Chains A and B, each alone.
Chain A
């Protein structure tokens, strides 16, 4: 790397269009002749569909047609598949109920689509949707994951509603550790169910050209190629080369726009079937009912410790709620993205985890920012904190005694992963220093004098990112390799178009990726344009999730840029009539080693396309290079978060006084963007800890399906964050990067809850700790006891 742009907080190239209202999100795309779709949805969590009567809707003004689940069945569309096979401990394959594009005979969650009405205007489509008569016969819903395996069977082929019963680790060794322990800490907890809530709702605009037989689907996707693959190869709405998926500007994803949903698929199918251009944009209530939710675990854990606080064993049993169907990556979240992370930053020699994934009559649950790793971190960091309290040890000291030390890497954990690098002691040390941990008790005393309860909580997290080394992922059941593609296309004038299979929906790739390539080639960043999100322009790509974009997608571009330099050296050698070994690239100049002759990057670019004297057997014209990069290992970002709170014992209101995050993301290209990712992740983590919760009643009706019922963290709810980056370089990719997108959401929830439990002296607390929830009442009760 030439180093002039790496590590610089370059202002974002993409901002201009967003701050001036010129962003182009899916719903902003306006096409002539567009028609509008509204989905008819189940008002029940579980019901049989006895019949459809669409006659009144068809006769309504402006209605073009109505398609129902029966049409989907008639057309023989496949179901929406889950891409990750998990095997139960007895070796059997996970059970995957058919997930129809539109339900025809049975609905399994509130809001499940059963029909779509297409009309000349949005209003007419909405009005007519209310005239579609569906004869539902309601059935008893199964809602609670903790008891789902003893409840009514939802699918014939899924006994006890169990998707799989998975295990990882050595049970016998773990039991032995527990038996020999001086102290065993136990903890039961739930990881509350969340809704990702990207502010741009899901949307789709499908157009069909009968002349070319091509469908163009504009949609809110984090991975347009995967959408095309699933819609064509699995659902079979069209041949793959006849479907182009464009994800234009996308207004946030956080996981929820990875998945292949009914609505977008139905729109593409209907556009071709009817020869129409059709638009659908979710209303927020549809987002609440049908976007894949996140988390929703019920767990119990036992941590065995020696007399001096050494972790001997950890045993975990988790029930994970899959919702009504297996969403695209759902099965992997509570297994390979959760159980494998239960070692945390510690040397715990024996770990055993069992996960029962169950189906319920609730919306499908899948990856939401962090995906499995926040659940693992929350469990581990809560139980460590509780153990420290029970044993009378300082929580920081207990962690230090058990950290994997910096000279122990690479470190093989008992739960499948091999950590590559890290310095956990250094991160914690820095975080404690920033939080002024040593003088906390003085602040606590001062707060007590004001009648306030003050607490401090730690969380030391690790995550496995950079999804994923394909061989490892494949061995773990992934349906596809998880490499990434990239192309560096040099234009004749020397500007560069960078094409990437990664997708940006807020992450700032148009800046970061341009920085990376401009730095490598020695170009001004203005000369580098990043193109993403269009299957018509790009090689197959896997998209953006799992904090993978820079570590995997960026590495692909790094390799492609190296190939451009190699090709450039050959062209330079040809032009300078010398041997290629006699050419060095000192960005942006190709120099002859044994003379002072040289060619600029621009000269080489121009020559690549206009010269006509290349020796055709040795050198092709053109200067555009591709790479498909497959990482060697996961990356392991890690860090320490500290939260300090003050609680008003009369109201139970919790105020965050300070939040410190020290994160090790490896090499950083743009610190400003990385800090922004950390801020946003922490905000979502604080949201989980203090505000957000999906609530279904016993009948499976969602009671939290609006912004008046589901509390989103707002500007006046959140503190400023103190963020610092420690760095150990990642050896697993050429850039040394670990990924930063999810860390904030992973590390922060236990820090917040540990701070609250520290303040109130009661560890029996669940998320969200709002002042009016059960947790809030616990806060008040404990607080008034403390008074």
Chain B
């Protein structure tokens, strides 16, 4: 067993885990943050996307011990207080989700795209989201949601 310290959604957590435990397993099984999903185990589907030290990362292929000391944000930590994050709101308003399983990863990727300035137009958003698979929506409404969320995020920050 290894002992690591993670700052998750603003709260410092000490976790005892196996050296081969993945970050997503620690989040789901140890910290009970089940909003981060596992769709493929091979970094292909993006359902497990979270932010580690400000970067979007697929948590299914990161060893938890490698994240010792990292600052992590999951879908549960995205909204400040009770209000939805603009990207969460945009996914609802643009019908950018159906079954909801890919949604947390999709939103975390989308927020990262906006933060990095990669959500300038729908083509860029489509390229930026190509690491996240959605089987339900056909993506059109997701792209619309990300464009709307991006513009609201920019308004909030200006």
Contacts and interface: CB of A to CB of B under 8 A. Distances in A.
B35 A23 contact: yes
Contact of A20 (B45, B76, B98, B140): B76
B42 A199 contact: no
B146 to A, nearest CB: 9
A252 B139 contact: no
Interface in A615-673: 672-673
Contact of B134 (A20, A199, A672, A707): A199
Contact of B35 (A22, A679, A707): A22
Interface stretch (B51-59, B61-69, B124-132): B124-132
B91 A21 contact: no
A21 B104 contact: yes
Interface string A198-218: 111100000000000000000
A677 B135 CA distance: 11
Contacts of B35: 20-23
A20 B79 contact: yes
A765 B131 CA distance: 30
A20 B84 contact: yes
Contacts of B107: 19
Contacts of B99: 198-200, 249-252, 505-506
A679 B84 CA distance: 26
Contacts of B121: none
A27 B37 CA distance: 9
Contacts of B102: 199, 251
B36 A19 contact: no
Interface in B80-103: 84, 88-89, 91-93, 95, 97-103
B75 interface: yes
B136 A716 contact: no
A704 to B, nearest CB: 13
Contacts of B137: 676, 679-680, 683
A637 B115 CA distance: 43
B70 interface: no
Given A712-B135, A715-B130, A251 B37 contact: yes
A507 interface: yes
A16 B45 CA distance: 22
Residue of B28, B45, B74, B132 contacting most chain A CB atoms (<10 Å):
B45
Contacts of B44: 284, 706-708
B96 to A, nearest CB: 9
B14 interface: no
A706 B43 CA distance: 11
A11 B135 contact: no
Contacts of A284: 39-42, 44-45
Contacts of B141: 676, 679
A10 to B, nearest CB: 11
Contact of B133 (A14, A30, A199, A684): A199
Contacts of B148: none
Contacts of A22: 35, 76
A680 B136 contact: yes
B54 to A, nearest CB: 19
A140 B12 CA distance: 57
B101 A716 contact: no
Contacts of B127: 715-716
Given A200-B39, A707-B44, A15 B97 contact: yes
B6 interface: no
A42 B68 CA distance: 39
A257 to B, nearest CB: 11
A199 to B, nearest CB: 5
A28 interface: yes
Contacts of B74: 21
Contacts of B18: 123
A200 B125 CA distance: 24
A508 B98 contact: yes
Contacts of B130: 714-717
Nearest to B44: A707
Contacts of A505: 99
Given A20-B76, A201-B39, A715-B126, A15 B92 contact: yes
A199 B138 contact: no
B4 interface: no
B126 A672 contact: no
Contacts of B133: 199, 707, 712, 714
A680 B138 contact: yes
Nearest to A16: B92
B119 interface: no
A673 B92 CA distance: 11
B92 A715 contact: no
B29 to A, nearest CB: 8
Contacts of B151: none
B91 A19 contact: yes
B125 to A, nearest CB: 7
A25 interface: yes
Given A508-B98, A707-B44, A684 B135 contact: yes
Contacts of A250: 99
A715 B88 contact: no
Contacts of A675: 95
B32 A680 contact: no
Contacts of B132: 714-715
A11 B93 contact: yes
Contacts of A680: 98, 135-138
A14 B91 CA distance: 12
Contacts of A28: 28, 34
B15 interface: no
Contacts of B26: none
A281 B28 CA distance: 13
Nearest to A670: B95
Contacts of A199: 37, 39, 45, 47, 99, 101-102, 133-136
Contact of A676 (B37, B98, B125, B143): B98
Nearest to B124: A716
A505 B98 CA distance: 8
A201 B102 CA distance: 12
13 contacts: A11-B92, A28-B34, A199-B37, A199-B99, A199-B102, A284-B39, A673-B95, A676-B136, A679-B141, A683-B138, A708-B42, A715-B126, A721-B138
A-B pairs with lowest CB-CB distance, top 8: A21-B35, A251-B101, A18-B100, A506-B99, A683-B138, A707-B44, A21-B75, A679-B138
Given A15-B100, A252-B135, A716-B129, 12 more contacts: A15-B91, A20-B84, A20-B88, A21-B104, A27-B38, A197-B135, A201-B39, A249-B99, A252-B98, A508-B98, A708-B44, A716-B123
Interface of A: 11-12, 14-25, 27-28, 30, 123, 197-201, 249-252, 254, 281, 283-285, 505-508, 672-673, 675-677, 679-684, 706-708, 712, 714-718, 720-721, 744
